Amino acid sequence: GAVVSQHPSWVICKSGTSVKIECRSLDFQATTMFWYRQFPKQSLMLMATSNEGSKATYEQGVEKDKFLINHASLTLSTLTVTSAHPEDSSFYICSARDRLGGGQTYEQYFGPGTRLTVT
């Protein structure tokens, strides 16, 4: 099956620093990738939709200058949390839509997530 990886799986950083999280589709090409954030005991909240070669589309309330998304190739999207603060501590999960999915029936394949702790 389709596999999505994320790196790192967990990261601790100091307040004010920037952190980059990578999301890779390992065995398929993904024209569209999604970034979610999940706080403890809460649902996944979509942060942004990333299309290869174009600017990401951010959900309302998500600061695009703080959460920089780059989808430079069909297999890699990165999320950079700039000037991180303790309130940014969360579980960040990416997903990728299979390029061959087509039509209305498709699957988003999720990565294992990255746990970010900002001290």
Partner 1 sequence: QKEVEQDPGPLSVPEGAIVSLNCTYSNSAFQYFMWYRQYSRKGPELLMYTYSSGNKEDGRFTAQVDKSSKYISLFIRDSQPSDSATYLCAPRGNTDKLIFGTGTRLQVFP
Contacts of 18 (CB under 8 A, 6+ apart): 80, 81, 82, 83, 84
Amino acid at 32: T
By CB under 8 A, name the one of 4, 21, 84, 116 that touches partner 1.
4
Amino acid at 70: N
What track of x and - describes contact with partner 1 for positions 23 through 42 (by CB under 8 A)?
Answer: ---------x-x------xx
When asked if residue 60 is in the footprint of partner 1 (CB under 8 A), the reply is no
Cβ atoms < 10 Å from Cβ of 29 = 13
Looking at the chain, list the stretches that DSSP marks H as alpha helix, in order from N- to C-terminal side.
none
Q: How far is the CB of 93 from partner 1 (least distance, A)?
A: 5
By CB under 8 A, name the one of 44, 62, 68, 76 that touches partner 1.
44
Contacts of 115 (CB under 8 A, 6+ apart): 9, 10, 11, 90, 91, 92
The two tokens of residue 46 are 């979509």
By CB under 8 A, name the one of 13, 46, 74, 76 that touches partner 1.
46
Q: Counting every residue, how long is the chain? A: 119
What track of x and - describes contact with partner 1 for positions 62 through 101 (by CB under 8 A)?
Answer: -----------------------------x-x-x-x----
Contact footprint for partner 1 (CB under 8 A):
4, 6, 32, 34, 41-46, 49, 91, 93, 95, 97, 104-105, 107-108, 110-113, 115
